[in-house]
A and B are shown apart, each in its own frame.
Chain A
């Protein structure tokens, strides 16, 4: 991809696939590679985990005497990272929680980024849409989150649960709720970038040779807003995972026997001093996810930028 604004020297080597270039550049970024490895490891753990570690995350000893004894166990062979306050196996809960948290994080981030970028580009590019779209953004920024979520849950939870079953219905409701309440920041930032890009020489040049708006946006504007969007995307994943835990905490999220990383972190909080590992593992998992996504994002940003790639 070579646009009018870039003056990178043309290589005379035989033409190579663009995506191969991107990959080659990405490979040189050590952080990105490590991030990718960690991230794939986490995903593998969550996907393959239940088949390797066959332990019901919600299993509690039915015999009360045994249950009391199995509470708050330290790490052992039977429970590699111990048990919780009801004697449930923490590793199984971490695996089950990760599945929910990672998917909520990604889906919600995707919804919010796509919607935010779309609104931002439209507002920044088409002057006529700027006013209405930005006022819409204001409206969403001003809406108190909690009543909005309460209303969404009240109106749609039972309907969705009826159509898709309780867990998928709740999942859809939660990711939509998080998505529609977190796109505003990226919309504002993208709009700002687009406003500035629009006056840049290469866009003016492309426009003057009669490039239609759609092409202009897809070929020239979007690739140049990738980097702030990448930052917003990494931040949004963390945000979505944390927001989900806040929702569960408020009784708006998943049913209580559905562990998630955010919820495990929250549940472990009272045990911070006695059993610090209870908050350590979920905290580590969330941080690792966010960190690895961030490095992947960094690598992608560099790899997608033709100016850096040329060097």
Chain B
């Protein structure tokens, strides 16, 4: 234990004072393991986290987010704001300036034409750009000179930092991708597998779905970085074995997203080869309460649609009672440990937007029983299950297949049984559950169950689009092929008005107040979307790896240029 403290201390020292004396490539090789292997190095063709994060080693955006969620310039000289004149007063344009003397890894200069091309690349028809949402509402991208990019929006944009910001929207080299526009995009295998970038590393060899080998970029803008000469990013296996490869066998230096149970976390830490690093973002595990009736007796096409309201979950007191019956802290202790904390909000961060309502945290079984009694649900026939008007309180609870989620299901079932609610559990293979296939009855959008559990978050630091997901118009149903973000089928005209207001508001305090109000309506008070656990990002780092700072706002490998070997 002592040794570990010393090593952790050393790691902290190195993290705060980036190894200024280090020389590029002096620290040899660094081994990283992603249990989901990258399949392509072009985030515009795949938005899987593994692909975005692996490409972030090679290609970079104009600006990124740091570990606190604040913007910092990458290729840009600085962050444009209204104060420094970079963002126009009416919020309809933003002007970016590139850093001077930037070079691509092949030695050619980076110019504004590359940035404008990136916009053209993602908006080309038939390209099927995976990051299309980042370029929504852009009227034009102009390049008055080789260093300057002016992005003009069709309407005032309170948050102009979407395009070219963050790992999802990096700059591509025009010379390399010029022939890959639109329908030709997927035929450019060479480009998609070996993009030329400005990042700390360049691709040496890429075996898709297996291993990515990189070497230090000779033209990286900081001549002393990266400290590692080469990097190997191996994929495959599962979270547990990835963690083991860092924490117990020591074969790897860093393992991504090692979500494992707390007992195992403790055991692996005790092996003394590494430590877990953890940071909280916006990912919230929640139970959605179906406001519509999922009964199999209804005709196909009418099940779980707004035509038939749910027999009891539409009652706010019933939802509140179900929430009161749950001990969120116990769920964290059993399933998440360090990597989770109880929450009542679906917007747990950033602080400006996060609601401070914590009423739900304390379990109150008696309160729950009382609420149900008051709502008219009583056990009249003595079988231990509440009923009303001859209908039993039976809940079908579904989620994806995952050991932690099954434990949570079992615990929640126990508590709900305790307050007199009958619970049937169901788990579905994640690829089907999240697959969005309109032909399958088991997708989470179809929601053929009374309640269901999954985790969701929002990109970056702005919850606007995420909160707009609870608009009445975004309810999934047969008329929109069950596409839509409003999973609980929440519908309140009052809420819809707030969404419109948020889109117009640019003052930060007002925006924060609006977001908190909306969050309480659907989550902390309304309990249509019952937040359970604020899930952190847990990764494993070797004790010999210095400079690791986890970041949930951007690519987890955001500061890989500062990583060093502790000798």
- A residues contacting B by CB (< 8 A) are 58-62, 64, 67-68, 71-72, 85-86, 88, 150, 154, 158, 162, 166, 249-252, 255-257, 267, 270-271, 273-274
Contact = CB atoms under 8 A, between A and B. Distances in A.
B260 interface: yes
B261 A85 contact: yes
Given A64-B329, A255-B425, A85 B365 contact: no
Given A64-B363, A154-B442, A251-B427, A270 B410 contact: no
23 contacts: A58-B410, A58-B413, A59-B414, A60-B410, A60-B411, A64-B363, A67-B330, A68-B330, A71-B334, A85-B261, A85-B407, A88-B410, A154-B441, A249-B401, A251-B400, A251-B433, A255-B427, A256-B406, A256-B426, A270-B240, A270-B263, A271-B264, A274-B263
A309 B71 CA distance: 85
B333 A252 contact: no
A303 B406 CA distance: 47
A256 B425 contact: yes
Contacts of A162: 296
B72 to A, nearest CB: 38
Contacts of B417: 62
**Chain B residues touching A, majority SS:** helix
Nearest to B418: A62
B427 A270 contact: no
A270 B442 contact: no
A256 B427 contact: yes
Given A68-B330, A256-B410, A62 B426 contact: no
B415 to A, nearest CB: 6
Contacts of A255: 424-427
A257 B260 contact: no
Contacts of B240: 270
Given A64-B329, A86-B334, A273 B410 contact: no
Contacts of B292: none
A251 B418 contact: no
A102 B334 CA distance: 31
A257 B407 CA distance: 10
Contacts of B427: 251, 255-256
Contacts of B359: none
A271 B263 contact: yes
B413 A257 contact: yes
B432 interface: yes
Nearest to B264: A270
A271 B418 CA distance: 29
B159 to A, nearest CB: 38
Given A64-B363, A150-B432, A154-B442, 19 more contacts: A60-B414, A62-B414, A62-B418, A67-B411, A72-B263, A85-B334, A86-B407, A88-B410, A154-B441, A158-B441, A166-B424, A255-B424, A256-B410, A256-B425, A257-B425, A270-B240, A270-B263, A271-B264, A274-B267
Contacts of B327: 64
Contacts of B440: 154
B279 interface: no
A221 to B, nearest CB: 43
Interface string B319-363: 000000001011001100000000000000000000000000001
B409 interface: yes
B428 A256 contact: no
Given A67-B411, A86-B410, A257-B410, A270 B363 contact: no
Nearest to A71: B334
A18 to B, nearest CB: 50
A273 B267 contact: yes
Contacts of A257: 409-410, 413, 425
A256 B402 CA distance: 10
A207 to B, nearest CB: 52
Nearest to A60: B414
A150 B424 contact: no
B555 to A, nearest CB: 28
Contact of A85 (B263, B329, B433, B442): B263
Interface string B237-278: 000100000000000000000001101100100000000000
A181 to B, nearest CB: 17
B401 A251 contact: yes
A185 B427 CA distance: 31
B504 to A, nearest CB: 43
A158 B296 contact: yes
A58 to B, nearest CB: 7
Given A60-B410, A249-B401, A270-B264, A68 B424 contact: no
Contacts of A273: 267
A64 B440 CA distance: 37
A270 B403 contact: yes
B70 interface: no
